[in-house]
Amino acid sequence: MAEIHPTHVTSLLSPELILPSIAARSKTEVLATLAAHMGTARPHVDGRLLEDALHERERQSSTALENGVAIPHVRLAGIPGPLALLARSVDGIDCNAVDGHPTRLFLLLIAVAEQPGSHLRLLASAARMLGDASCRAGLLAAPSAEELLAVVRSHELRTQRRAA
């Protein structure tokens, strides 16, 4: 099996960091859900602090993109490396996206505050993945966290091969 580049999303995800179906009904609830789950899965992350940071970032500009995806992202101090969490809303949530469509896929990215700029490639990589229509379709159709992870992994390997 080909090795995944460390700045790719797959290297940061694992089944416990994937939520196939969240019950949140608003953007605020989504951010709270993501922050709380990250705090549980990675205890060194303060869930409350993360939630505040996410709200502050959203206040500056929305991270909801078109085609039903959003990439909420923040930089946190004191964490050893970047973190990611993938969540899916079956019904979709109004996140004030540019195209007005409800958002169904959320990819939370947390970067190390002490390394400014280090996460930009990761953000671009995440946007590239979620911008791919077939990848989005696969993510929306995947029945489990493991299957969702497989879709992400498969897409990133394809992209890596194309770039090579």
Partner 1 sequence: MLVFISFWRAAAIVLCDMASTVYYIGGIVEQAIGKAAPWYIAGVMLFAYAVRGVYIESCAMFVRGGVYRVVKEAMGGTLAKLSVSALMFDYVLTGPISGVSAGQYIVGLANELLQQIGAQVAIPSAAGSAVIAVAITLYFWRQNILGIEESSDKAMKIMGVTTVMVVVMILWCGATLWTRGATLPPFALHFSDDSLGWLAGTSWGRQIGAIGIVVAFGHSILAMSGEESLAQVNRELAHPKVPNLVRAGLVIFLFTVLTTGLFSFFAVMIIPDDVRMASYSDNLVGGLAMYMIGPLSVRLALRAFVVVVGFLILAGAVNTAIVGSNGVLNRVAEDGVLPDWFRHPHRRYGTTYRIIDLVVGLQIFTIVASGGNVYALGEAYAFGVVWSFVFKSLSMVILRFKDRRPREWRVPLNLRIGRTELPLGLMLIFAILLVTALANLVTKRVATEWGAVFTVAFFAVFWLSERAHHHHGAVQHLEKFNVRYTPDLDPRAVGIRPGCIVVPVRDPGNLAHLDRALHDAEREDVDVVVPTVKVERDLVATGHNPNFTPDEQAVFTAVVDLAERHGKSVVPLVLTSNDAFFAIARTAQELAAREVVFGRSGSLAPDVQAESFAIRWGTVEPRGDRDMTVRIVSAREDVRFTL
Note the residues at the interface with partner 1 (CB under 8 A): 57, 60-61, 63, 65, 71, 73, 75, 98-100, 116-117, 119-121, 123-129, 131-132, 159, 162-164
Among the listed residues 18, 23, 9, the one whose alpha carbon sits nearest the alpha carbon of residue 127: 9
Cβ atoms 131, 67 nearer than 8 A: yes
1 or 133: CB nearest partner 1: 133
Measured in whole angstroms, the distance separating CA 119 from the mean position of its chain's CA atoms is 13
Residue with smaller CB distance to partner 1, 90 or 120: 120
Neighbours of 104 (CB within 10 A): 21
Q: Which is nearer to partner 1, 76 or 145 (CB)?
A: 76
Diameter of the chain measured on Cα atoms: 42
In DSSP notation, 49-101 reads HHHHHHHHHHHHS--B-STTEE--EEEETT-SS-EEEEEEEEEEE----TT-P
Min separation Cβ 75 and partner 1, Å: 7
Cβ of residue 130: shortest distance to partner 1, in angstroms?
A: 8
| 88, 106 contact by CB (below 8 A) | yes
Cα-flanking dihedrals φ and ψ of residue 41, to 5°? Answer: -70, -30
Residue (19 or 65) nearer to partner 1, CB: 65
> Smaller CB distance to partner 1: residue 80 or 162?
162
